Amino acid sequence: MSHHYIRYTNVHYSYPSGQEALKGVDLLIKHGEKVALLGLNGAGKSTLLLLTNGLLLPTEGEVNVGDVPVSKKTAPMVRRAVGMVFQNPDDQLFMPTVWDDVAFGPRNMQLPPSEVERRVEVALRSVGAWDLRDRAPSDLSGGQKRAVAIATVLSMEPNILVMDEPSSNLDSRTREQLMAIVNDFHHTVVIATHDLEMALELCPRSVIMKDGRIIADGLTERLLRDQELLELAGLSLTPALAEYVEK
């Protein structure tokens, strides 16, 4: 997997309940790109991320990570390459201490203890949470939880980072910290969000989804200027952002 592109070819996905979440998605994300997935809740963003990680498998079509088609068999391998940060850190942090949680991934990869320790330290330092290592997730603040949740994924040293609504429920300071972390990550990043400001700041490229389909794909700056498109996708600019875009 030398070239960490992600390719979705005519991807369909229906949930067991019969709800059709993706209705034919074609998309190529190249290595090192930072891409925002924009759209309302239920547009299919989260489903697309779960498919990238092999946590769901397409009912039709194919997802490729690098040269590897994502299947039940390749899923464990794919999950090492694709780190997924979930929307709610409380769902991601299930271990008794921060340290144990960040070590969970490397331990499952059956790395030697010294390597696990090294990775945990590197990951926690990179999100500025090394001092929190002995704390329990339940006594962390929202921003700290988010930072640690990202560290749990970074410790697996993924080549692709996918994040689901990473900026929800964050105050402005921790939001900035989050952006710094993402900026420091030199591989591919895919962020599903409806935080347009963050998309503009972090991701040169944006993909807009609606009802399980991609309705636009291009430079974030250009897409955010297209009032008609944003209205169609159900997205709206904050006043500050509108002012910025007009300039």
Partner 1 sequence: MSGIDKAIVALRELDTGATRIAIDARIQLIVALGFVVVVLTVPLTNPGALVWMFAYPIIMSEASGVGYLRVLKQSLWVLPLIAAIGMFNPILDTRPVAVVMGITLTEGWVTFAAILLRGLLSVQALLVLTNTCGFREVCRALQRLGCPAVLVTQLMMLYRYIGVLLEEAQSMHRARLARGFGRKSYPLKMWSEFVGQLLLRSIKRAQRVHLAMLARGFNGNCFIEWARPSLHWRDLTFLLGWAAVIIALRFLPINAFLSNLISR
Write out the residues near partner 1 by the rule CB under 8 A: 50, 53, 55, 76, 79-80, 83-84, 86, 88, 90-92, 94-97, 104-105, 107-109, 136-139, 152-153, 156
CB 150 within 8 A of CB 126: no
Nearest distance, CB of residue 50 and partner 1, angstroms:
7
Residue 66 or 105 having the CB closest to partner 1 = 105
Nearest distance, CB of residue 219 and partner 1, angstroms:
30
Nearest distance, CB of residue 91 and partner 1, angstroms:
4
Residue 66 or 137 having the CB closest to partner 1 = 137
Alpha-helix runs per DSSP H in the chain: 45-52, 75-81, 89-92, 98-108, 113-126, 142-154, 172-184, 196-202, 220-225, 227-233, 239-246
Nearest distance, CB of residue 19 and partner 1, angstroms:
15
Nearest distance, CB of residue 37 and partner 1, angstroms:
17
d(CA 118, CA 236): 43
d(CA 85, CA 81): 13
Q: 18: number of CA atoms within 13 Å, CB side? A: 0
Residue 136 or 215 having the CB closest to partner 1 = 136
d(CA 16, CA 95): 30
Kindly report the number of other CB atoms within 10 A of residue 238's CB atom.
11
Tokens of 185: 């990550």
Cβ-in-10-Å burial (0-12, 13-18, 19+) of 168 comes to: middle
Residue 88 or 169 having the CB closest to partner 1 = 88
d(CA 203, CA 38): 11
Residue 102 or 170 having the CB closest to partner 1 = 102
Residue 50 or 207 having the CB closest to partner 1 = 50
Nearest distance, CB of residue 56 and partner 1, angstroms:
9
DSSP of 79-121, one letter per residue? HHHEEEE-S-HHHH--SSSHHHHHHHHHHHTT--HHHHHHHHH
Query: From the DSSP assignment, how many helices (H) and strands (E) are in the chain?
Result: 11, 10
Nearest distance, CB of residue 65 and partner 1, angstroms:
13
Residue 8 or 99 having the CB closest to partner 1 = 99
